[in-house]
């Protein structure tokens, strides 16, 4: 591919950058913001910080936090009603993937109207969205820099992926200090998600030199800092670097798209209320094994990024070492390693495989896949 | 490029970009502008009816505005009336192919199709296609697509609007509904303009009638300020400039407290008065005008100058009187004629049988000459009473004087009045009626006698004089009757010629004499002048044009 494109929002990174949220909105011309968060964010006290910043900037605001881990269409509609009722003119999303995805989805309905289902797919948004400022408090989702929003269709019991350039927020704020409050489990799960983003983006069919740089950095940072980050809430250096890893992997996958891990993980997530990072970390080594054949050189690169000495190894050999590394990392941080252990039922696999086959993320997977192939991978991971 | 690659391009958004508010805004502004312009056009049409803009101007105006939002090139209007469809307006004018007033044939006409179907029609002009008579026109003018809108007012189709463009314009739903609205509004407007013209014409008719009425008509408000007036009123009162500053009291030369309008307001009823205005006698009627709340807001005044009518009336009355006298006189004369003939015949016989120088002869010739005079008087009376024969002939004013004196000299002299007659025997002839002129002389003499009767002491004299004078290059015959009677008050001098004006006690004077006399003089192309001073006497001069 000779033509590529790389898109990203304005990014504000650094300790205490969350304080900038009010000013950022003001600069975009906001006067009345809807702040979307979730109960976890509120409990951690980040919502208060955002409100404080908005007050200082002299903004009117309304809050909405009726959302679950895998945000649903109904929640989006409810949020949109709040937006309309309070005559808001801009949106802040604070939190992890769910808050930010809901914030984006509300933005869609606010100016485009209708039902969120009608925007599923690529480029279905016709009118510009209101100013969006996203504050990522969970390293991992990458949603704060991406053109994606994933919302559950409650009727069809599946995750809808909405892809549009307009979904790229105007300003993304990444404040590593916000990671301090995360539990070890959540830190581990989101860290594995970041790694998945880096690896899938790196081997993606849509990868470009620009995304490769981001992916490479992200992978290296995870290899170096995920363990210490899980180990201690107080390790500021580890937290800051994991935040950077999250940001860079986000930039990478937002532009290079993902692969089979996410396609399959989306299928699982639609059915079970599980941590996205957990599912990813289980599936990642199995998908890597399957994909190795498609681009041994890139997998060898990954081993290198992970900090391994691959001198004298063939690409295939090096690639296998990378897979082993991933498995080891999962074990080290105590993340789940089998689907069965987190409650996924064998009977669902066929259905989930079909669903995964049609997920948008599957398009950029480096190796061709069939439903059977997916089912086989699921089984190995079970 | 395979399908997968296409999907990847979609996902990475190579061909798409973030939607921009700037472009969205621009789009919205453009749409708003279009909407605004459309509203403006509709608004213009609605308004133009009020300001009575011509259809051509209106089309030009809307064309210029339409041009800003649609790529149109020509707009035309054809009106349907009495089963005929006529091209009435085209803009721009140079895009004229059929002449204005062209009647569109019913066959193969797309305009007719619209009239018959009552449906909007979008027509794309095809090359070398001749299905409609209009096709050639459009091709000639470089028009490639036409939108035709039927104009419907109150359920009736009244025409068709054609909007031509050199492009193949894509009108969307909103555009079409705008053109429908545009057409509807235009139809209402055309219909209104038609009704307006009708009303205007009938209003004009009424106004012209009002103006042309020979009686004076004025409309005044409750304060008497003049609101409207017709030509007769304008001429009579010399109204001009700003009539609203003038008041009816001022025109009638009356005091505010005599204002008849006040009576209209008080009684809510019509008022009748007779006014002497500018030496004319006028009947004055005023009628209150009520609004829908039954309250009076204006007064219509109707003034009729009846001076002439009264004069004729007076003449009739007097000639009626004379006719009665004449009839009686004729009867008496007839009865007297026979005995008089006997008296005269016998006196003549007797005269012959008496010596000439004897006392008896003197007595007899006295009887004879008196009888003769009686006969002359009777003859005079008979001729004078024959009023119905108003034939004009050459006559001498002296004859008229003699005739009248023959009738009333004795009567006057009995009152100790000296009559000095000074007739110019070479006076010019006048063309007229001797009896009528005699009537003038009679009236003047009787008036002079009456004026002297009222006076005590001194010598009472009536001087009668006739002569020929030259004035303004033409000859006039004048008769002056001058007395040294009581004279006339200055304030009355204006009025004495008015019918029924009299200072004499009822039974004695009717006030007709001078009025009738003036009427006769005027009928002869002459006048009567009065010169008088209270206590000194009066002189009346009859002036008649001399016969050429
Ligand atoms: N020679 C005169 N001297 C003074 N007053 C006169 C003389 N002639 C006319 N008048 C005035 O003009 C009035 C109108 O005269 P006019 O002959 O029209 O009517 P009249 O003599 O009153 O009545 P009649 O109908 O019997 O003639 C008179 O009443 C009188 O006041
Ligand atoms: Fe993810
Ligand atoms: Mg008289």
In this predicted structure, what is the pLDDT of residue B477?
96
How far from A380 is each of A285, A362, B530, CA to CA, in Å? 10, 19, 147
DSSP string, A125-140: --SPPPPEEEEE-STT
Strand partners, A207: none
B28 Cβ under 8 Å from any chain A Cβ:
no
Asked whether A328 and A285 are in contact (CB, 8 A), the reply is: no
Choose the closest CB to B11 out of A3, A163, A166.
A163
Domains of chain A, first to last: 10-178 (3.40.50.1970), 182-381 (1.20.1090.10)
Low-confidence ranges of chain A (pLDDT < 50): none
Do B16 and A165 lie within an 8 Å CB cutoff? yes
Asked, colleague to colleague, whether B30-197 and B213-305 share their fold, the answer is: yes
Q: Does domain B392-548 have CATH number 3.30.565.10?
A: yes
Choose the closest CB to A147 out of B13, B14, B21.
B13
Question: What is the best residue among B444, B486, B492, B504 to mutate for testing ligand 1's pocket, by most ligand atoms within 8 Å of CB?
Answer: B504
Q: Please report the beta strands in A46-198, taking only residues with DSSP state E, as ranges in sequence order.
A: 60-64, 90-95, 121-122, 132-136, 148-153, 158-163, 171-174
Asked whether B541 and B531 are in contact (CB, 8 A), the reply is: yes
In this predicted structure, what is the pLDDT of residue A282?
95
Backbone phi, psi, residue B350, to 5°: -65, -40
Rounded distance between C-alpha atoms, residue B385 and residue B43, angstroms: 83
Do A165 and B19 lie within an 8 Å CB cutoff? yes
Rounded distance between C-alpha atoms, residue B488 and residue B509, angstroms: 15
Asked whether A108 and A121 are in contact (CB, 8 A), the reply is: no
Residue with tokens 């009867």: B331
Asked whether B532 and B493 are in contact (CB, 8 A), the reply is: yes
What is the distance in angstroms between the Cα of B35 and the nearest Cα belonging to chain A?
20
Low-confidence ranges of chain B (pLDDT < 50): 387-388
Do B14 and A5 lie within an 8 Å CB cutoff? yes
A5 Cβ under 8 Å from any chain B Cβ:
yes
State percent of chain A over pLDDT 70: 98
In this predicted structure, what is the pLDDT of residue B198?
85
Q: Note the Cα A227 to chain centre separation in Å.
A: 20
Rounded distance between C-alpha atoms, residue A152 and residue A159, angstroms: 4
C-alpha dihedral (A273, A276, A278, A279), degrees to nearest 10: 80
Query: Taking the domains of chain B in order of start, what are their residue ranges?
Result: 30-197, 213-305, 320-388, 392-548
Taking only the tens place, the pLDDT of each residue in A150-192 is: 898 988 887 788 888 899 999 999 998 887 767 888 889 989 9
Rounded distance between C-alpha atoms, residue B107 and residue B542, angstroms: 84
CA angle B157, B159, B160 (to 5 degrees): 115
Taking each helix axis from N to C terminus, what angle separates A260-271 and A184-203, rounded to the nearest 10 degrees?
Answer: 140
CA angle A382, A314, A257 (to 5 degrees): 55
Q: How many Cβ atoms sit within 10 Å of the Cβ of residue B441?
A: 23
Report how far ligand 2's centroid is from the alpha carbon of A197 (Å). 6
Asked whether B421 and B304 are in contact (CB, 8 A), the reply is: no
Taking only the tens place, the pLDDT of each residue in B11-39 is: 777 767 777 788 888 888 888 888 888 88
**Domain B30-197: which CATH class?**
alpha beta
Do A164 and B16 lie within an 8 Å CB cutoff? yes
* Radius of gyration of chain B, Cα coordinates, nearest whole angstrom: 46
Asked whether A189 and A275 are in contact (CB, 8 A), the reply is: yes
In this predicted structure, what is the pLDDT of residue B192?
80
Residue ranges near ligand 2 (ion) with Cβ within 5 Å: A 193
Give chain A's end-to-end CA distance (angstroms, integer): 36
Strand partners, A93: A36, A134
Give me B21's structure tokens: 């508010």
Q: Does domain B213-305 have CATH number 3.30.450.20?
A: yes
């Amino acid at each position: 591919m000779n033509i590529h494109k790389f898109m990203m929002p304005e990014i504000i990174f650094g300790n205490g950058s969350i304080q900038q949220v009010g000013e950022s909105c003001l600069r975009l011309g906001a006067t009345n913001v809807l702040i979307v968060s979730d109960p976890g964010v509120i409990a951690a006290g980040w919502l208060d910080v955002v409100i404080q910043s908005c007050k200082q900037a002299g903004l009117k605001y309304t809050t909405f936090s009726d959302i679950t881990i895998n945000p649903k269409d109904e929640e989006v509609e409810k949020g949109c009603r709040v937006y309309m009722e309070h005559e808001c003119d801009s949106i802040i999303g604070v939190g992890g993937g769910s808050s930010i995805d809901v914030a984006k989805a509300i933005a869609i309905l606010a100016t485009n109207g209708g039902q969120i289902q009608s925007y599923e797919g690529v480029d279905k948004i016709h009118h510009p969205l209101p100013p969006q400022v996203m504050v990522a408090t969970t390293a991992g989702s990458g949603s704060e820099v991406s053109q994606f929003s994933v919302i559950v269709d409650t009727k069809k019991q599946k995750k809808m992926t909405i892809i549009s350039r307009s979904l790229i927020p105007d300003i993304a704020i990444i404040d590593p200090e916000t990671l301090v409050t995360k539990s070890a489990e959540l830190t581990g799960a989101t860290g594995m998600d970041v790694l998945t983003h880096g690896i899938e983006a790196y081997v993606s069919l849509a990868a470009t030199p620009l995304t490769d740089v981001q992916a490479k950095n992200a992978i290296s940072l995870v290899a170096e800092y995920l363990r210490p980050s899980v180990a201690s809430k107080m390790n500021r250096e580890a937290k800051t670097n994991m935040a950077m890893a999250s940001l860079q992997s986000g930039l990478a996958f937002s532009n290079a798209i993902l692969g089979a891990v996410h396609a399959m993980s989306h299928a699982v997530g639609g059915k079970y209320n599980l941590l996205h990072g957990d599912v990813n970390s289980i599936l990642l080594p199995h998908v890597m094994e399957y994909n190795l054949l498609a681009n041994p050189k890139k997998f060898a690169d990954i081993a290198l990024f992970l900090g391994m000495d691959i001198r004298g190894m063939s690409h295939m050999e090096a690639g296998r070492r990378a897979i082993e590394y991933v498995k080891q990392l999962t074990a080290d941080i105590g993340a789940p390693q089998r689907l069965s252990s987190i409650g996924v039922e064998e009977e669902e696999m066929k259905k989930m495989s079909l669903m995964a086959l049609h997920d948008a993320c599957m398009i950029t997977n480096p190796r061709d896949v069939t439903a059977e192939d997916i089912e086989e991978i699921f089984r190995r991971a079970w | 490029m395979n399908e997968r690659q296409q999907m990847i391009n979609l996902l990475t958004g190579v061909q798409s970009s973030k939607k921009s508010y700037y472009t969205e805004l621009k789009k919205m502004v453009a749409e708003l502008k279009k909407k605004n312009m459309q509203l403006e056009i509709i608004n213009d049409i609605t308004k133009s009816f009020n300001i009575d803009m011509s259809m051509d101007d209106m089309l030009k105006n809307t064309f210029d505005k339409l041009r800003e939002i649609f790529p149109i090139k020509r707009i035309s209007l054809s009106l349907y009336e009495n089963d005929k469809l006529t091209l009435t307006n085209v803009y721009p004018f140079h895009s004229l192919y059929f002449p204005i007033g062209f009647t569109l044939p019913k066959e193969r006409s797309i305009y007719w199709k619209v009239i018959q179907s009552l449906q909007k029609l979008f027509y794309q002009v095809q090359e070398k296609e001749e299905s409609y008579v209009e096709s050639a026109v459009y091709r000639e003018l470089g028009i490639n697509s036409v939108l035709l809108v039927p104009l419907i007012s109150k359920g009736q189709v009244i025409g068709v609007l054609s909007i031509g463009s050199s492009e193949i314009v894509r009108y969307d739903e909103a555009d079409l509904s705008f053109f429908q609205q545009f057409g509807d509004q235009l139809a209402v407007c055309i219909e209104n303009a038609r009704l307006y013209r009708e009303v205007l014409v009938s209003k004009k008719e009424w106004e012209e009638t009002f103006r042309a009425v020979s009686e004076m008509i004025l409309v005044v408000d409750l304060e008497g300020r003049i609101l409207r007036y017709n030509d007769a009123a304008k001429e009579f009162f010399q109204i001009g400039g700003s009539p609203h500053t003038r008041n009816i009291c001022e025109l009638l030369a009356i005091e505010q407290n005599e204002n008849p309008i006040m009576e209209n307001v008080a009684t809510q009823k019509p008022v009748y008065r007779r006014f002497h205005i500018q030496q004319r006698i006028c009947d004055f009627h005023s009628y209150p005008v009520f609004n829908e709340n039954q309250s009076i807001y204006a007064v219509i005044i109707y003034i009729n100058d009846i001076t002439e009518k009264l004069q004729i009336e007076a003449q009739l009355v007097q000639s009626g009187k004379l006719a009665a006298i004449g009839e009686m006189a004729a009867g008496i004369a007839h009865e007297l004629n026979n005995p008089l003939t006997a008296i005269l015949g016998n006196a003549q016989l007797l005269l012959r049988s008496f010596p000439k120088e004897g006392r008896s002869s003197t007595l007899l010739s006295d009887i004879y000459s008196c009888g003769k005079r009686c006969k002359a008087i009777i003859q005079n009376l008979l001729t004078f009473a024959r009023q119905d024969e108003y034939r004009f002939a050459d006559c001498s004013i002296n004859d008229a004087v003699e005739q009248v004196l023959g009738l009333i000299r004795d009567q006057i002299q009995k009152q100790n009045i000296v009559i000095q007659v000074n007739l110019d025997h070479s006076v010019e002839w006048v063309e007229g009626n001797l009896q009528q002129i005699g009537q003038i002389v009679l009236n003047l003499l009787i008036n002079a006698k009456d004026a002297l009767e009222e006076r005590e002491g001194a010598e009472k004299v009536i001087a009668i004089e006739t002569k020929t004078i030259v004035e303004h290059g033409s000859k006039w015959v004048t008769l002056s009757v001058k007395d040294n009677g009581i004279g006339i008050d200055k304030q009355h001098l204006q009025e004495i010629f008015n019918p029924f004006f009299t200072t004499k006690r009822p039974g004695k004077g009717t006030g007709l004499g001078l009025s009738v006399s003036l009427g006769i003089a005027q009928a002869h192309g002459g006048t009567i002048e009065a010169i008088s001073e209270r206590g000194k006497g009066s002189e009346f001069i009859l002036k008649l044009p001399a016969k050429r």
